[in-house]
Structure 1
Amino acid sequence: MTDKKTLLIVAHAPSPNTLRLRDAVGQGARHEDIENVEVVTLAPLDTTPEDVLGCDAIILGTTENLGYMSGALKDFFDRCYYPCLEKTQGLPFAFYIRAGHDGTGTRRAIESITTGLRWKLVQEPLVCRGDYTDVFEEQCRELGLYVSASLDAGLI
């Protein structure tokens, strides 16, 4: 029997639409064909360094706030950066941004911090730009599925 791996989803979801995106990531990650991955979903303010240290991969989700990540996700990084720095190098991760504009500053900020952590980006960042559409949910579902299936198959 294979030991279960843990996929941690850390997503800021302050609105009904962003909650739908977070839930879609989780639905994809919990696909019925994925057998050996436990999915844990937490808000950034509820996530501890121990949660990160205990996971095998992570998906981050944030809104674009004034051209930057949400304050909640920044707080997550502030609290977890140094406790995780030397212990999570190579951690597979992916992220999505709900961007009312272009998401460029938000993407750059997340990439800067995760480069410092030496995490390994395993999927091109998903930027859900402009007016909300249901297509964003399908894209988030696919993101969750991809990362979880890759973890389940031992590819990441």
Structure 2
Amino acid sequence: MAETGALEREHLTWDGFGEATREIARTVIASGFEPEVVVAIARGGLLPAGAIAYGLGIKNCGALNVEFYTGIGTVLDAPAVLPPELDMTYLDGRRVLLVDDVADSGRTLDLAVRLLTDQGAEVRSAVVYTKPTTIIQPDYSWKDTALWIDFPWSWRGTVAEEDAGHEGSA
């Protein structure tokens, strides 16, 4: 559901998030892919990955820390992997479901897929939202949108920003 205002936005509620992640888990099962490990792209993919892992009954989870967005509409020149590093050797030969919140430019997802594939993992990707600007199409996606997305965990910004009267988004 889109919110109206100065800038039209896609607003995901906590209930909508639950529905989205359950639907993604069902789609993964219906596709016949049986992941052994769920890997989140941190930070945005942490909550979706956990919820999808629960939906799939998978306990093996990890995170790949990638920074690209530094603020609303501001990005680094290229996505960068940050510490702590994921134990990539564990993924060799395993079926991995890579999860993020959104495939916007797709550059972060593309980097993560390549890193895991180069490690020898069989990788499928899942996102809550896919934007028309992405350079890589995820294997599983709940919804397509061209709008800026207000996620329930980030639309209010940090606690310090909120306390100072600022509003942020992710």
Q: Same fold (TM over 0.5)?
A: no
Whichever structure has more strand as a proportion of its residues is 2
TM-score range with shorter-chain normalisation? 0.3 to 0.5
Q: TM-score, normalised by structure 2?
A: 0.40
Whichever structure has more helix as a proportion of its residues is 1
Give the number of the structure with larger relative contact order, counting CA–CA contacts within 8 Å between residues 6 or more apart: 1
Larger Rg: 2
Q: TM-score, normalised by structure 1?
A: 0.43
